Every structure is written in C-alpha cells, then in structure tokens.
Chains A and B, each alone.
Chain A
Amino acid sequence: EPEVTQTPSHQVTQMGQEVILRCVPISNHLYFYWYRQILGQKVEFLVSFYNNEISEKSEIFDDQFSVERPDGSNFTLKIRSTKLEDSAMYFCASSSGLGDTQYFGPGTRLTVL
C-alpha cells in the first residue's frame, strides 16, 4: 500500500541553524501538507501546497518557514533559523483531492538545542 515517507526520523540541531525536513508524498496525490505536534499538545496545521504554490498557511508559518517541491516526488519544509520552540514532531501529509483523506507520514522529530 502506498505511504508517505519522511526523512530523517530524528534531527538534532543548534539554535539558529537551518534545517530541511524531507517528505515523499504518495505518488498520485496532488495536495501536500505540513503539520507539527509539540510534545503533549495538539497536532497543528502549518501549510498546504497545491499546483506548485502555497494554498493556505497558518500564523505559525512565518517568514522563517518555507516549502518547496524541488522535483516530481519530494516535498520539503525548511526552517531558516531554528528556535528552541521549533522543537516538535513534524508530519507531512498528502491527499489526492481537496476533500479527500489526508495520509500522514511517520514524522520527523526535530530537537533544537
């Protein structure tokens, strides 16, 4: 069964460093998303991406964040200058249509020291 994959599974970085989290969505899906979950808290929406552009973003997704689909398969989230409060589990998701089931990847645990 097709699944969303994410790399790395765990990333440790120093405050102020740039990180890139990578995702491979399900191959025939057209809508891509990033969510995050701070330990013990709710899963929160960050951004959605369709047709090579951001279609919606939350107030969390400020200028420090960017997304890109550099080729036909990868979808990346970049955090330009990490802060301690960026420590969280980051989930990538994809769906085939706008109102369809969103399928989530296993997540990348980001730890900012």
Chain B
Amino acid sequence: KQEVTQIPAALSVPEGENLVLNCSFTDSAIYNLQWFRQDPGKGLTSLLLIQSSQREQTSGRLNASLDKSSGRSTLYIAASQPGDSATYLCAVRRHSGAGSYQLTFGKGTKLSVIP
C-alpha cells in the first residue's frame, strides 16, 4: 500500500527566503505526482503535476523535482512571500495496468512566511 510522508510538518521562514519542502513515497511505481496548496478551511489548489517520466516542472517561483527511483519529490519555493503561507500537500497516483485513478496524499507541510 502506498504511503506518502511529508517532512517537516511545519516550517516558518522569514520573507524572501528560498525554501524546500520534501515528499517521500514508499512505492516507486507511480504514474504521476501532484503538488497542491491548501488554505485554511478551503479547497486544494493544484500547483504542479509531474509525470513519472519527468524530472522536474516549473511554474513561476515554484519548481518541483521528482526522483522516482528513490521515492522522493521536492517543492522549491523561491523568494518566499507572506501570501505563500498555506499547507502544501503532495499526492501520488499509482501506476496500474488496470488503470488507477486515485491520488494518495501526504499530511502536508504547513508553511508560514513571516513578513
């Protein structure tokens, strides 16, 4: 059964710092990996999707990398801003010959960017 772990559970940084959030998964047979942000009491906003054949994806100040063989992904946020404060979730979709649709989520990293 796929398990997704995110470390640290919480992170506090001063504004302007670059930071890295980590995600690990136990089964490397994944189809893709998706990073989300979740604001308190709100839904999930998709940030980046990395297919299993890709090594990284970039969107603005965000860069996500994937090392499938070691079961790891990182989300790099450059020049952090107070508006980046949220919980960041990592989710993997397993690879299955029969087709598997579900995402398995980590518990998230709660990021606070201090002005």
Contacts and interface: CB of A to CB of B under 8 A. Distances in A.
Interface of A: 4, 31, 33, 35, 41-45, 48, 50, 55-56, 58, 91, 93, 98-107, 109
Interface of B: 31-32, 34, 36, 41-46, 49, 51, 89, 91, 93, 99-108
A56 B101 contact: yes
Nearest to A48: B101
Contacts, number: 57
User: Taking chain B's interface residues, is the majority helix, strand, or loop, or is none over half, making it mixed?
Assistant: strand
Those 10 A-B pairs whose CB atoms lie nearest each other, nearest first: A45-B102, A48-B101, A106-B43, A104-B44, A43-B105, A101-B49, A56-B101, A104-B43, A42-B105, A107-B43
User: Taking chain A's interface residues, is the majority helix, strand, or loop, or is none over half, making it mixed?
Assistant: strand
Contacts of A106: 42-43
Contact of B51 (A4, A41, A45, A99): A99
Contacts of B100: 56
Contact of A33 (B41, B101, B104): B101
Contacts of B106: 42
24 contacts: A4-B43, A43-B44, A43-B105, A45-B102, A48-B102, A56-B99, A56-B101, A91-B44, A93-B44, A98-B99, A99-B31, A99-B51, A99-B93, A101-B34, A101-B46, A101-B49, A102-B34, A102-B46, A104-B43, A104-B44, A104-B46, A107-B42, A107-B43, A109-B41
Contacts of A31: 101
Contacts of A103: 46
A107 B105 CA distance: 16
Nearest to A3: B43
Contact of B107 (A4, A42, A50): A42
A48 B91 CA distance: 16
Given A43-B89, A43-B91, A102 B103 contact: yes
* Max chain B C-beta neighbours (<10 A), residue from A43, A100, A105: A43
